[in-house]
Each structure stands twice: as C-alpha cells, then as structure tokens.
Amino acid sequence: MIGLISATAAGAAARDRLAAAWPDRTRVYEGPAGEAVRAAFAECDRLVCFLATGATVRLLAPLLGDKAADPGVVCVDEGGRFAVSLVGGHGGGANELAYEVAQLLGAEPVVTTATDAVGLAGLDTLGLPAEGAVAAVSRALLDGEPVALEAEPAWPLPPVPFAEQGAYTVRLTDRAVRPGPREVLLRPPSLVVGVGASRGAPVEEVLGLIEESLREAGLSVRSVAELATVDAKSEEPGIVAAAGRLGVPLVTYPADELAAVAVPNPSDAPLAAVGTPSVAEAAALRTGGELLVPKRKSAASPAMATCAVVRRPGRGRLAVVGLGPGARDLLTPRAAAELRRASVLVGLDQYVDQIRDLIRPGTRVLESGLGAEEERARTAVAEARKGHAVALIGSGDAGVYAMASPALAEASDDIDVVGVPGVTAALAAGAVLGAPLGHDHVSISLSDLHTPWEVIERRVRAAAEADIVVTFYNPRSRGRDWQLPKALAVLSDHREPGTPVGVVRNASRPDESARLTTLAGLDPATVDMMTVVTVGNTATRNIAGRMVTPRGYRWQHAPEGAR
C-alpha cells in the first residue's frame, strides 16, 4: 500500500490525482502532516509526501531504522514539478515509485542513487536476494572495474556489464555458501520442495524436515521458490503454515497428474491415501528439473512428513516489444521497462537507433538490416533458450506486420513469452486524420513479397464489397509501384470518386506530413513505404478538414431536438 500525505490545497489536488489513478494501491492520510507521516510509515510499504523535502526529512528522521525494511519515500514539491526519491531508493522501491509518480503527474523524476543515475541495474534491484559485498561490488561496477559473473544455474538476469574475469565477482547460486570479501551472492528461485504429510502433521515437523534436507544437501533456503504437494493436502495446516513461514507459495496438483510422474521411490501408502504412489517426489518433479534430494522422511516416530527437492532450470524470457510509430512519447512505459530489463536486445538497426539511449550498460545488442526478419526471430528465440532475458523489438505493435508472428512461430513452451503492445501506424495516422476508424475497419499490406498478389487482391475486394474502411500498409515502393493503383481501382468499383482518403507519412515523427484527398484525387506516385493510406467507406465524410467515419448511432440521424 502507498500512503499519500499532503499539507496544502495544491498538494491535496496532486495527491487526489494519484488516489484516483491508483484506487487499489493508495491510502490517503488526513490530519497534521507529522501524525500522517508517522501513521503511514508504520502501515504502508511506500509513501508519497506532497511536502517540502526539508520538512519531510525532519519528519522521517526519528522513524528511520533499517534501509532493508523501511518503506521507500517519494517527495513531490508544491508545484508538482519534481518527484524525488528521498529514502529507500532500492530496497524500499522509492526509485521505481518516483518514475511512476512523475509519469502520472507530468513531473520530472529525481533519482540520485548512483547506479540509477548512470543507468546501471543495481545488484539489489535484480529481483533476487543478494548477499555479501553489495556496496563494494556496485562501486566497482560504477568505477568501470571488471566484475565477473559466475552463474551456476542459467537465469534471465537484467543487463549488468559483467566481464569474463575480475577482482570482484557476482555469483548466481542456490548453494549454501558464504560470500567472499569481494563477492555478491544472488539467490535464484531455482528450488522446488515437494512435501507430503499425514493429517495433523505439525508445522515444526514439516518445516524442520525441509530445512534439514536443504542444509544437508548444501542448498540455500533463500532459493526455495515454492512448496508443492497434492490437491488433497492443499489445506493441510502443517504444510500451509510451512509455506507461510518460508514466504513462498504452495502449489498443488491433482493426484492423477502426480501419478503420471516417474519417480525413483514410489510407495503404496500415498497411493492408498490420496491416489498417487508419490507425493513429495512427484510434486517436486512436476515442474521439471533435476532431483537433488530424493524423498526423505522426518525423524519423528511415526514420521508424519516427507519432502524432496528439485532444481528447476531457469526459463529464458522473450519480450516482444512494440515501439510505437516513432515518437518517444508514444513509446509505452511498459515497453520502456522491458527495454531496461532485457540483457539481450534484438532488432532492426534503424529501430535500435530510435531507442539506443534507453539501452542499459551491459545489454548485448544484436541488430541487423532490412530483410532479415526471420533471422532476427530465430536469434531472439535462441538467446531466450540459453536462459537470457531477451527483448525483440518492432515498430508500431510487434504483433501487427512485425516480429511477434515469426518469433512465436519459432518459440515453444520451453521459454516464457511476453507481448508488449504498441501504438500502430494505422492508429497514429488515424489520430492525425481525425476519426477515420470510427466504425469497422481493416488493415491490408500491399507488399507481395510474402503474400501472393492474388490473395491480397481478394482481400481488398472483400473489404470493398463489405464497405469497410481500409488502411493500406506498405502501399508503394520503388520496386512495387503498381499494387496501390490496382487496389484503388478495386475499391473504386464499390465507392464513389469523392470518397475521403487520408495520406499520412511518418506519423508522429518530426517530419510528419498528412493530407486529405479523395479516391479519385489520390496520386499513387506521392506515396512511399513510410506512408499509411486510409480509404473511407461510403459513410466517411470530410468534416472541417477532418476525416470522420460515423459509428451509425441513431441520434446522428434524429432531429436536433430529439437528441
């Protein structure tokens, strides 16, 4: 929960904007600022104070304890110009919150944490528990000293400029080892503990067995990702409480699914009790991976708990990211976040150039030229299968005439795939023209490099016969100069010569140009590959120089007094 505190009318207005935008994430604290800050500090994960920084510092000073446990605090000035990450930048989440608040209020985020200031991902912000010399190794990264990465299990980390060798080390491991003086240990969530228990098994017995099994196997409890068991034990108090104390979810599976899992130590007892010859081993192995600790029983007599431990492989992550039509303010915050998260970026060279300033140090960039779409898709999927966090970029929306389709055709279920939507060229052009897409519409690419012209022409004819607004992508190039005239001729068989046509080149970019013409008046020679052509339907009108396709509401045709 985010606590919101203000002391003036201007602060309250900005506060209420946040509260309205985030109703499920925020709580407004009324009353004197001092009392409100103290209450919010005790009850919330993060705070936004619409107060002067000096006043906020004085109010916070007696409350601060451990930076790993204190809430993050963002301070917003009276004019709403700046969102300052004041305390708890990393551990408390204030840095991230400052960017969110600034985005919502139209303010400038102020983040002074050293790593964030130069675009480095902080070692304590990688989403994994960190142990050891975090400050010293972070300083080495900031100073450009070589820091080596030793990754025992492959895991999709955000970008960090690691070297092959160095005096400092970041070690990604789930083993119970101590960090060296110049070493940081990162704990990946790689361990799944399968658990079985008799009815009424005490939490101390279940938890003690888990901790003892991990300790004897030399594994870190901080790398336990989840406990797993059979559905019949989903409410067993000892298992539920053990998961709660470890701070991990409890995942359950139907008995028939667990019965189908091959295990080294099946037993008749669980088969008779819950319908599967194995609970602990089968539940752990259900997620895939290597069995590190075969089924073990607790030491009590009679034993009431069993457990087994599996190391699951790190799954690579492929984010297919739409960059929008070109303008930076039409790049979505989610897309920008995925670009910062990716340790490998794959894309067309000209698109990489658009967002090069957003690429974090340590990101490996794999760029190529026009015509290499399938190669880029294969490369992105291959990098994700190696366990990397990959961003595959495309213009507009990555799923519209872009990279999502070839990438997903290559991908299988061995990697995680995330789609990040973007503003398409059709939408950007439509906003420039007015409201040409106000009713049913279709987008058709006139490029016959991958689709036979006969198929394209059939689709154009179908749209014409159905009286649907058409947006043409890839309308004309030097080597393809006859397709657009042919498509317009097909539409002309079903639409009047005066049908409005919108032509937008480089929508949303600095050299954007747009004009409104007609089906008879459009000169195809003025169109190129950077242009989007939108042809209206029989209801589309030119109204005050804007292209408008009405939705057909009944009140549009009713007498003025009846509306």
**Predicted confidence pLDDT, tens digits, the chain (563 residues):** 999 998 888 888 888 888 999 998 899 999 898 899 999 989 998 999 998 888 889 998 888 887 778 888 999 988 888 999 988 877 788 888 888 888 888 888 888 775 665 666 677 667 788 889 888 888 888 888 898 989 887 888 888 888 888 889 999 999 999 999 999 999 999 999 999 999 999 999 999 999 999 999 999 999 999 999 999 999 999 999 999 999 999 999 999 999 999 999 999 888 888 899 999 999 999 988 899 999 999 988 899 999 999 999 888 999 999 999 999 989 998 999 899 889 999 999 999 999 998 898 889 999 998 888 899 999 999 999 998 999 999 999 999 988 999 999 999 888 999 999 999 999 999 999 999 999 999 999 999 988 999 999 999 999 999 999 999 999 998 889 999 999 999 999 999 999 999 999 999 999 999 999 999 999 999 999 999 999 999 999 999 999 999 987 554 554 444 44
- Whole-number Å distance between alpha carbons of 560 and 226: 64
- Ramachandran quadrant class, 326 (left: phi over 0; alpha: psi -120 to 50; beta: rest): left
Inter-residue contact 125 to 184 (CB < 8 Å): no
Verdict on whether the full-model pTM lies above 0.85: no
Inter-residue contact 74 to 47 (CB < 8 Å): yes
Inter-residue contact 342 to 366 (CB < 8 Å): no
Cis peptide bond N-terminal to 302, omega within 30: yes
- Whole-number Å distance between alpha carbons of 246 and 229: 15
Q: How long, in residues, is the chain?
A: 563
DSSP-derived secondary structure letter, 123: G
Residue with tokens 């490996």: 364
Inter-residue contact 363 to 333 (CB < 8 Å): no
- Whole-number Å distance between alpha carbons of 318 and 385: 9
- Whole-number Å distance between alpha carbons of 11 and 77: 8
Contacts 24+ apart (CB under 8 A), 147-153: 153/188, 153/190, 153/311, 153/313, 153/314
CB atoms within 10 A of CB 470: 25
DSSP, collapsed to helix, strand or coil, labels residue 404 as: helix
CA angle 114, 119, 125 (to 5 degrees): 75
Inter-residue contact 505 to 529 (CB < 8 Å): no
DSSP, collapsed to helix, strand or coil, labels residue 249 as: coil
Task: Give CA separation, 22 vs 1, 46, 55, 288, in Å.
Answer: 10, 13, 25, 38
- Whole-number Å distance between alpha carbons of 115 and 150: 21
